[in-house]
């Protein structure tokens, strides 16, 4: 089965980002296809590499990065939601005259069309967080 | 594809970002249905003025959905009643489509549905997104 995941909540504040990650792992472990993880609303905060959690805690952002780099999962932040919340890649930073970028490795920034495409192309789109 | 809006309009950005998601779906030529329930019905109250709270009022853009082939916006009757609202408190707009223009009378932008009707509609969808 082909799955898509929508993450609407930021890391650490709420269980949603953890549950979404565990669900992503379960999809892959069971031999299903994970088409994309789309991050919307505060969910875009899962994609900033400046996050520094205490070392004895789980590293939510790095965990997503490994999922992308090791399993080839497509991690996409909504560009409009990311701009509002200060998550930018190098191109966005230059376009908006910002003095730095903070997008974590393995993530990319794109439009809401990627969410709609996920809904169309997958058998199940599962939402985490509100 | 069904979009459920259940948040008040200005207390969080979720309502505004939810509207953006509907517009994206409409641009993909999807069969899109949009429904408002719970505090989401406040998004359709007419005459909203956000000037005193320093927030841009995005709600007039909801009416633009009619131009994106979304059709009537569904509003759950029970949610309205529970909040002391009625049909006349909501925006009073009509949909101008080629189809209706040829027939004469215009279709109201808003259609009230019961909770049972909305439930049946959810059951029939391929995708339900909630904002």
- The confidence score (pLDDT) of residue B98 equals 59
Sign (positive/negative) of CA torsion A28, A3, A60, A99? positive
Encode pLDDT of B48-64 as tens digits: 999 999 999 999 999 88
Interface of A with B in 79-108 (CB under 8 A): 80-81, 84
- Which of chain A's residues have a Cβ under 8 Å away from the Cβ of B30? 116, 120
Q: In the predicted model, is pLDDT for residue B68 greater than 90?
A: no
A41/B contact by beta carbon, under 8 A = yes
Band of the pLDDT at B128, cuts 50, 70, 90?
very high
pTM given for the model: 0.92
Higher per-residue confidence, B96 vs B40 = B40
Integer-rounded Cα radius of gyration of chain B: 14
- The confidence score (pLDDT) of residue A103 equals 98
Three-state SS letters, B71-92: CCEEEEHHHHHHCCCCHHHECC
Token pair in block for residue A117: 């495409």
- Inter-chain CB proximity B27 and A113 less than 8 Å: yes
Q: In the predicted model, is pLDDT for residue B102 greater than 90?
A: no
- The confidence score (pLDDT) of residue B103 equals 61
Angle at A95 between CA A43 and CA A76, to 5 degrees: 25
- The confidence score (pLDDT) of residue B107 equals 86
Q: What does the alpha-carbon distance between residue B46 and residue B63 come to, in Å, rounded to a whole number? A: 11
Could you tell me if A9 and A16 are in contact, meaning their C-beta atoms sit under 8 angstroms apart? yes
Q: Name residues of chain A where pLDDT drops below 50.
A: none
A112/B contact by beta carbon, under 8 A = yes
Interface test with B, best of A3, A38, A119, A129 (most B CBs within 10 A): A119
Query: In chain B, which residue's Cα lies nearest the Cα of A113?
Result: B24
Provide the residue count of chain B. Answer: 131
Any bridge partners for residue B2, and if so which?
Answer: B33, B128
Interface test with A, best of B3, B33, B127 (most A CBs within 10 A): B127
Which residue reads 């049909």 in tokens? B87
DSSP string, B31-82: --EEEE-GGGGGGGBSS---GGGT----THHHHGGGGGT--PEEEEHHHHHH
B125/A contact by beta carbon, under 8 A = no
- Which of chain A's residues have a Cβ under 8 Å away from the Cβ of B25? 116, 119
- The confidence score (pLDDT) of residue B100 equals 54
Q: What does the alpha-carbon distance between residue B58 and residue B56 come to, in Å, rounded to a whole number? A: 6
- Inter-chain CB proximity A113 and B24 less than 8 Å: yes
Q: What does the alpha-carbon distance between residue A63 and residue A46 come to, in Å, rounded to a whole number? A: 10
Mean pLDDT check: name the lowest of A115-124, B43-52, B87-96, B113-122: B87-96
- Inter-chain CB proximity A116 and B25 less than 8 Å: yes
Interface of B with A in 29-48 (CB under 8 A): 30
- The confidence score (pLDDT) of residue B111 equals 96
Angle at B123 between CA B89 and CA B61, to 5 degrees: 35
């Amino acid at each position: 089965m082909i799955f898509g995941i929508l993450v609407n909540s930021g890391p650490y504040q709420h269980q949603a980002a953890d549950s979404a990650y565990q669900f992503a792992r379960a999809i892959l472990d069971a031999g299903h296809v994970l088409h994309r993880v789309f991050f919307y609303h505060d969910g875009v905060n899962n994609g900033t590499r400046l996050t520094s959690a205490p070392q004895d805690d789980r590293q939510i952002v790095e965990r997503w990065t490994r999922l992308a780099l090791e399993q080839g999962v497509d991690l996409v932040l909504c560009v409009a939601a990311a701009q509002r919340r200060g998550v930018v890649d190098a191109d966005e930073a230059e376009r908006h005259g910002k003095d730095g970028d903070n997008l974590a490795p393995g993530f990319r920034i794109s439009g809401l069309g990627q969410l709609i495409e996920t809904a169309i192309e997958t058998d199940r789109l599962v939402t985490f967080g509100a | 594809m069904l979009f459920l809006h259940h948040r008040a309009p200005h207390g969080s950005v979720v309502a505004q970002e939810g509207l953006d998601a509907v517009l994206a779906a409409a641009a993909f030529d999807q069969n899109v249905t949009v429904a408002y329930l719970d505090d989401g019905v406040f998004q359709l109250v007419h005459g909203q003025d956000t000037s005193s709270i320093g927030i841009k009022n995005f709600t007039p853009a909801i009416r633009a959905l009619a131009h994106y082939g979304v059709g009537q916006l569904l509003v759950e009757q029970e949610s309205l009643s529970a909040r002391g609202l009625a049909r006349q408190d909501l925006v009073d707009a009509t949909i101008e489509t080629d189809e209706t223009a040829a027939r004469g009378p215009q279709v109201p932008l808003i259609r009230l549905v019961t909770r049972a009707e909305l439930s049946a509609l959810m059951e029939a969808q391929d995708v339900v997104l909630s904002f």
